[in-house]
Amino acid sequence: MGEVPSKPWVVFAKVQPRLRLFCFPYAGGGSSLFRLWSNGLPPEVEVCPVYLPGREIRLNEAAFTHISPLVQTMAQVLRPHLNTPFAFFGHSMGALISFELARYLRRNYRQLPTHLFVSSHRAPQLPRLDPDTYNLPEPAFIDAVYRLGGTPQEVLQHEELLQILLPTLRADFTLCETYLYAKEEPLACPITAFGGEQDHTVSVQQLSAWREQTRGVFTLHMLPGGHFFLHKYQGLLLQALSGQLGELEH
Look up the domain containing 167 and give its range: 19-248
What CATH number has the domain bearing residue 126? 3.40.50.1820
pLDDT attached to residue 137: 87
pLDDT attached to residue 90: 98
Residue 92 designated active-site = yes
Q: What is the pLDDT of residues 187-198, one digit of tens each?
A: 999 999 999 999
Q: What is the pLDDT of residues 26-70, one digit of tens each?
A: 998 889 899 899 999 999 999 999 999 999 999 999 999 999 999
Quick check: is 6 in a domain? no
Q: Per-residue pLDDT for 153 more than 70?
A: no
Distance CA 101, CA 231 (A): 25
Q: Per-residue pLDDT for 4 more than 70?
A: no
Local confidence band at 8 (pLDDT 50, 70, 90 cut-offs): confident
Distance CA 214, CA 187 (A): 5
Local confidence band at 3 (pLDDT 50, 70, 90 cut-offs): very low
pLDDT attached to residue 151: 65
Quick check: is 109 in a domain? yes
Quick check: is 200 in a domain? yes
Q: Which residues of 51-89 are buried (b: 16+ CB within 10 A; e: fewer)?
A: bbbbbeebeebebbbebeebbebbbeebeeebeebbbbb
Active-site residue, from 31, 92, 119, 120: 92
Q: What is the pLDDT of residues 81-127, one digit of tens each?
A: 999 999 999 999 999 999 999 999 999 999 999 999 999 999 999 99
Cβ atoms of residues 166 and 138 within 8 Å: yes
Q: Per-residue pLDDT for 2 more than 50?
A: no
Quick check: is 166 in a domain? yes
Q: What domain count does the chain have? A: 1
Average pLDDT, the chain: 90
